[in-house]
Amino acid sequence: MDSILNTNQFNDDLLSQIDGSSPENQIHIRVRQRNARKCTTTIENLPDNINVTEFIKIVKKKFCCNGAKIKDKKTDTEFIQFQGDHRENLLKVLNEKYSIDEKEIITHGG
């Protein structure tokens, strides 16, 4: 085993070659398990034309969950966190309400 590949870097390079978009411009939706039954969903890299507070309000009302905008102090990045597994729901809202193509959205987890 001379070298170990970083699969995330390989996947990002492969994605950029396939659809011509860079991973930095794509929206990332992730789910994280909190304990045996509870999980949280995070979304990063929303486009600037989306009003974040309005987006959170729409998702909270439509899917009966709590959500908040969080700023990571270590990396100085902002992301949105929702209670529960809402990967498919967030895809639908971004696609229908904001007309964002599914190629621009990467869903991580399970």
pLDDT of residue 5: 46
Beta strand segments in the chain, E: 27-33, 39-44, 67-72, 77-83, 105-107
Return the pLDDT at 22.
Answer: 61
Q: Which domains, ranges and CATH numbers included, belong to the chain?
A: 27-107 (3.30.780.10)
Query: Which letter does DSSP use for residue 26 in this model?
Result: S
In this predicted structure, the answer to whether residue 10 has a pLDDT above a threshold of 90 is no
- Give the integer Cα–Cα distance in Å for 65 and 99: 23
**Two structure tokens written together for 37:** 């039954």
Q: Average pLDDT of 87-93? A: 96
Integer-rounded Cα Rg, in Å, for the chain is 15
Is a pLDDT exceeding 50 seen at residue 105? yes
Write out pLDDT tens, residues 59-82: 999 999 999 999 999 999 999 999
Rounded to the nearest 10 degrees, what angle do helices 52-63 and 87-96 cross at? 120
Asked if residue 90 has pLDDT above 80, the reply is yes
Question: In whole angstroms, what is the distance from residue 95 CA to residue 104 CA?
Answer: 10
The arithmetic mean of pLDDT across residues 36-58, rounded, is: 95
pLDDT of 19 above 60 = no
- C-beta neighbour count of 80 within 10 angstroms: 19
